[in-house]
Structure formats: structure tokens, C-alpha cells
A and B are shown apart, each in its own frame.
Chain A
Amino acid sequence: QSVLTQPPSVSGAPGQRVTISCTGSSSNIGAHYDVHWYQQLPGTAPKLLIYGYNNRPSGVPDRFSGSKSGTSASLAITGLQAEDEADYYCQSYDSSLSGSIFGGGTKLTVL
């Protein structure tokens, strides 16, 4: 059971917009710790997608964006493409655990 809760799966058709939620608590997201998002393609290492609320590393298209409100954060993907099909993970820090935490991951299927 992950401290950060994500839906196990989401899906969307090419060109559509999808969002992936990440629900935490007052000891992590609600305590204003940064939220980061990673994309993991099958058989590969995770890749940093969004960091510190809504910043994209060089090379990440602006179709990907992050937001945060209260004890939750969200990743939005617009103009869905086939190559976006992957697992997505949120990450934050938890003061009760004194360490970094991940969400359980969300599998995105492009229909």
C-alpha cells in the first residue's frame, strides 16, 4: 500500500487529454513538499517528466504538465500519442517517514 495513491490505470484515444491523480496527506503533498512525475516505458528505467510542481526537463514536450492542490497532485497529458503509453509515477517527500515516497503507479493505455 503506497503512501501516495494513484489510479491503477487510465486510458484515452489519440489526441485526447488524460489526467493522472496522486493523492497524499498532510505529511507529504499537503505539507508543500515538491511533487515529481516519472514516465517508465516497458523494460526501461524511469525518466523524469515533471519536477517541482510544473517544470519540465529539457526535451519533455509541453503536452505534459503538472498541478497541485491541497493534498493532491495531477499530471495532465494533452494531444495523447501512441508513444505516451507507459507507466507513470508520482514522487514526493514524507515528513513522518523522513524519506522519499512514490505512488503505486498508473498504467496509461492509448486506445
Chain B
Amino acid sequence: QVQLVQSGAEVKKAGSSVKVSCKASGGTFSSYAISWVRQAPGQGLEWMGGIIPIFGAPNYAQNFQGRVTITTDESTSTAYLELSSLRSEDTAVYYCARGTAAGMTPFEYWGQGTLVTVSS
């Protein structure tokens, strides 16, 4: 079955960047959209952006334009999220999620989450 395994927790300084990975297994990586969703402590879910590997062009949420980069490596079935100019408000659990054959959503499979802590 499909599994998304994310990289481990990160502690970063404000102003720096973080790169989180999401390795997929058990499916055709290139054809399915991968999105990134974050959840600040005690808060709700926030979509950051997504990409369909076979097309390559990411779509970013307006709130993150200019600070977020989503890429994929089809050779390793891995998606990446890079967030720059980190601030304390970026402290959150970051999830990758896979869409279905029908489109970017719904998010049928989720990674286990990666906690990113931003300290000043």
C-alpha cells in the first residue's frame, strides 16, 4: 500500500531555511499530486502548496508565495518542501499528503508529520 515517510524533526533559527522530505512508496509517484499542509500547535490545517511530479509546476498558497519551494525527485520518489526566512510563527508540524488519480485533492494518504521548531 501507499506510504509517505517524512524526514525527522528540525530545530532552526529565525531567518534560516528548512527543507523537509517526503518519500513515497507503494504507488506510481509521478502521476499523483503531492501537497504540503502544516499545523501550528493547537491550530488547524493550512495548505501550503502542491505539485504533480509528472507536470513539475508547483502551485503555492498565496500566504507562502516567495518563501516556499516545492520540488520532487522522481528517481527516488521523494517530494521536498523548503521554507525560507523562518519566523517563530512557522513552528508547526508539516505534513505531506498525496492526492488521488482524479486530482490534487482529496488527500488520500498522509505522511507522519515533521515537527519544525523555529527559535529566536
Contact = CB atoms under 8 A, between A and B. Distances in A.
Interface of A: 2, 34, 36, 38, 40, 45-48, 51-52, 57, 89, 91, 93, 97-105
A75 to B, nearest CB: 13
A100 B47 contact: yes
A102 B45 contact: yes
B59 to A, nearest CB: 6
Nearest to B35: A100
Interface in B69-120: 95, 97, 100, 102, 104-108, 110-113
A99 B49 contact: yes
Contacts of B110: 45-47
A45 B95 contact: yes
A96 B102 CA distance: 22
B62 A51 contact: no
Contacts of A34: 105-106
Contacts of A57: 108
Contacts, number: 65
B114 to A, nearest CB: 11
Nearest to B95: A45
A52 B62 CA distance: 24
Given A51-B100, A102-B45, A103-B44, 20 more contacts: A34-B105, A36-B107, A38-B45, A40-B45, A45-B113, A46-B37, A46-B45, A46-B95, A46-B110, A48-B107, A91-B107, A97-B62, A98-B62, A99-B60, A99-B61, A100-B50, A101-B47, A102-B37, A105-B44, A105-B45
Contacts of B102: 52
B48 to A, nearest CB: 9
Contacts of B50: 100
Contact of B112 (A2, A45, A52, A99): A45
Q: Which of B45, B50, B112 has the most CB of A within 10 A?
A: B45
